[in-house]
Structure 1
Amino acid sequence: MNFRAQLSRPPLERMLKIHDELRRGALVNCTKLMKALEVSRKTVIRDIAFMRDRLELPIEFDPLIQAYRYTQPVNAFPTVNVTEGELLALLVAQRALEQYRGTPFHRQLEIAFGKLAGGLRDRISFSPADELRTVSFKNIGLGKTDLAVFNALSGAVLRQEEVTFDYRKPGDARASSRRVQPYHLANRENLWYLVGFDLERGALRTFALPRIATVANTKAGFTRPADFSPEKFFANALGVLGGGGDYRVVIRFTAAVADRIREREWHESQELRELPGDALEVQLRLGALSEVEQWVLGWGAAAQVLAPAELRENLRRTTAALAKIYA
């Protein structure tokens, strides 16, 4: 099978691209379209012919500029029939695909989007050139992951084979060698993590992929425990770092930020209590305090920790150090 051909853009996506170029008055010829769409000249000519003859778009070839153009204004691409579910999936898939460009799953998402766009069925109509502009994504601080590291670990997770790698803990100048049984890959807060059993330390550990290097598959098999689940493993973590503690965290938010807190689910354990003046109290049950401390600091003076005392003391020391820095 020709792998490149399998990943080529679906006809709908190609024609939308051609339409956008023609509508904005760009110089559109076969050579440029072949490069932009990564297809053959025959495919470009076939797409343009379909747009002109079947979709009745006013396309003509102008020999004076040696390019195609619209002979009259065209505001929207002709309607394409899809189900409501396919429409929603198409909108989200395309925007999500762009957001993940350069990440390990981009190629898989590209294939899935191509299949979706190429398999539309006759139900309802919409104009994709306009509708696809109604959805967008923006994530701050997308994690950087080496594709070779990701592929090596994902293969070891699937085959349940032990791996060795060098790992540098935050703040350490040098990396240390680890031998791990890889259980699960998780994307938490825009960063990839490996959850695995560290054989030397005899316990489950979480490893950030950007700090992993020189992965080697030992080919030694193992059996993942039947009772392991990522949901259970991360249950008492606000983000990534869980722990053996059992902390009842209570935070009071002022009215200025309370709506932003209400609008999201921050943790499975969260309980909200409305307070006078539109203020809000949030209660969480967590296994560690380091991540929630950073979260509270991010809200500045709009957040006040009521419990536990240990977290209040941690924040007192941190804010005292900040006061010295910014005095």
Structure 2
Amino acid sequence: MDRTERFYKIELLLRSRGCVSFDALQGELAVSPATLKRDLQYLRDRLAAPIVYDRFDNGYRFEAATDNAKTARHELPGMWFSEKEIHALLTMHQLMAGLDDDGVLSRHLQPMLDKLQGMLGADESEARELMRRVKVISTARRRVPSRHFELLGSALVQRKRVWLRYFKRSDRSVSEREVSPQRLVNYRNTWYLDAWCHASEGLRRFALDAVQEARLLETRARHVAVKELEADLDAGYGIYGGGAKVKWATLVFSAEAAQWVANEEWHAQQKARWLDDGRYELQVPYSDPTELAMDILRHGDSVVVAGDKALAAAIAERLKNAARLYA
């Protein structure tokens, strides 16, 4: 544990325990008495930490906050987290590791996570045990080559254009495009790139697992405001949210299914209400019915599409086709 980590650890211990003896501090930090004395002196004199020795409790604590600015809540400069926040961040690391088989995100964040572990004073075995306490189960994950993820992430940060060779699944075609990356999106365990496509002169969403080849260009990327991105790509339902014309679907769930659906967010702009008979009505915007239809079909006979005749007919046709396969 280096000196900076010890400073954060001392602050964390005093803030979480209130009053800590010299022996307890020394044991947690695994340093000599002389080193601990120098650390406490440095915190007081150079970093203005209001650490005082309490003779009654035989330990060190922060001086009680008063109106005096010197004794107001003290925080070290730079990164600061509480113990609960550190545990939450380590848990998030496990979540990202589950979404990121190639380890790209985890690798870039590892230096910060090592610092957090040092602040907690946990050894390697304790850190591994913490990670095992969080399990992420993902299904239908589409993996992305790490070289593509890193290149596109770098282009996004540097505001550079990218050349792509892209496979379009709908018609099984391959095209070459020059794009200006705007946003990386992780949706249902799959990564997408929102970008301005210079060939079609519009915003498009690309599945990263369908990128066959990518090359960073030196040309400055076109900038698109976040509000424009959201209006163009997020207005409708799911990953097919783009489209100029947005319609609203009204879904009525049975009283049994409502117990789960009522706690789900299908869209940020959704509208919902309970009906008198215990059923649940959910209204969601959509422009392309592809993904919405899949989510409706997932609920089988527990949901009915109300009002939207075209969507209801499409769902009915899909159910008939599925039933014929099992006839």
TM class, shorter-length: 0.5 to 0.7
- Contact 1:94 / 1:113 at 8 angstroms: preserved in 2? no
Amino acid in structure 1 at the alignment position of 2:238: G
- Could you say what secondary structure the match of 2:239 adopts? coil
Residue in structure 2 matched with residue 167 of structure 1 by the alignment: 166
Offset at residue 289 of structure 1 (A): 1.8
Offset at residue 147 of structure 1 (A): 0.9
- Contact 2:180 / 2:195 at 8 angstroms: preserved in 1? yes
- Alpha-carbon distance in 2 for matches of 1:135, 1:144: 21
- Contact 2:250 / 2:307 at 8 angstroms: preserved in 1? yes
- Could you say what secondary structure the match of 2:191 adopts? strand
Residue in structure 1 matched with residue 217 of structure 2 by the alignment: 218
Offset at residue 134 of structure 1 (A): 5.0
Give CA deviations for 1:175-233 in whole Å, capped at 9, x if unaligned: 11112122221111211111111112111111101111121223111331345555444
Residue in structure 1 matched with residue 310 of structure 2 by the alignment: 310
- Alpha-carbon distance in 1 for matches of 2:246, 2:289: 10
- Contact 2:289 / 2:311 at 8 angstroms: preserved in 1? yes
- Alpha-carbon distance in 2 for matches of 1:156, 1:92: 25
Residue in structure 2 matched with residue 153 of structure 1 by the alignment: 152
Residue in structure 2 matched with residue 186 of structure 1 by the alignment: 185
Residues 99, 293 of structure 1: CA spacing in aligned structure 2 closer, same or farther, 3 A cutoff? closer
Of the structure 1 ranges 101-110 and 127-136, higher mean CA displacement relative to structure 2 is found in 127-136
Offset at residue 95 of structure 1 (A): 5.2
- Alpha-carbon distance in 2 for matches of 1:146, 1:265: 30
Residues 237, 110 of structure 1: CA spacing in aligned structure 2 closer, same or farther, 3 A cutoff? farther
Percent of aligned pairs with the same amino acid: 23
Of the structure 1 ranges 180-189 and 94-103, higher mean CA displacement relative to structure 2 is found in 94-103
Residues 161, 257 of structure 1: CA spacing in aligned structure 2 closer, same or farther, 3 A cutoff? same
- Alpha-carbon distance in 1 for matches of 2:261, 2:296: 12
Residue in structure 2 matched with residue 245 of structure 1 by the alignment: 245
Residue in structure 1 matched with residue 139 of structure 2 by the alignment: 140
- Contact 1:97 / 1:110 at 8 angstroms: preserved in 2? no
- Could you say what secondary structure the match of 1:264 adopts? coil
Residue in structure 1 matched with residue 258 of structure 2 by the alignment: 258
- Could you say what secondary structure the match of 1:111 adopts? helix
- Alpha-carbon distance in 2 for matches of 1:199, 1:130: 48
Residue in structure 1 matched with residue 50 of structure 2 by the alignment: none
Amino acid in structure 2 at the alignment position of 1:314: A
- Alpha-carbon distance in 2 for matches of 1:223, 1:321: 45
- Alpha-carbon distance in 1 for matches of 2:128, 2:152: 39
Residues 100, 313 of structure 1: CA spacing in aligned structure 2 closer, same or farther, 3 A cutoff? same
- Alpha-carbon distance in 2 for matches of 1:92, 1:254: 35
Offset at residue 131 of structure 1 (A): 6.7
Offset at residue 115 of structure 1 (A): 2.1
- Contact 1:245 / 1:288 at 8 angstroms: preserved in 2? no
- Could you say what secondary structure the match of 2:176 adopts? strand
Offset at residue 169 of structure 1 (A): 1.0
Offset at residue 297 of structure 1 (A): 0.7
Provide TM-score, normalisation by structure 2: 0.66
- Contact 1:156 / 1:217 at 8 angstroms: preserved in 2? yes
Residues 1:203 and 2:218 aligned together: no
- Could you say what secondary structure the match of 1:176 adopts? strand
- Alpha-carbon distance in 1 for matches of 2:88, 2:158: 35
- Contact 2:266 / 2:284 at 8 angstroms: preserved in 1? no
- Contact 1:163 / 1:217 at 8 angstroms: preserved in 2? yes
- Alpha-carbon distance in 2 for matches of 1:153, 1:196: 10
Offset at residue 294 of structure 1 (A): 1.0
Of the structure 1 ranges 111-120 and 161-170, higher mean CA displacement relative to structure 2 is found in 111-120
- Alpha-carbon distance in 1 for matches of 2:95, 2:269: 31
Residue in structure 1 matched with residue 271 of structure 2 by the alignment: 271
Residue in structure 1 matched with residue 9 of structure 2 by the alignment: none
Provide TM-score, normalisation by structure 1: 0.66
Residue in structure 2 matched with residue 285 of structure 1 by the alignment: 285
- Alpha-carbon distance in 1 for matches of 2:95, 2:202: 39
Residue in structure 2 matched with residue 64 of structure 1 by the alignment: none
- Alpha-carbon distance in 2 for matches of 1:160, 1:118: 34
Offset at residue 292 of structure 1 (A): 0.7
- Contact 1:194 / 1:206 at 8 angstroms: preserved in 2? yes
- Could you say what secondary structure the match of 1:310 adopts? helix
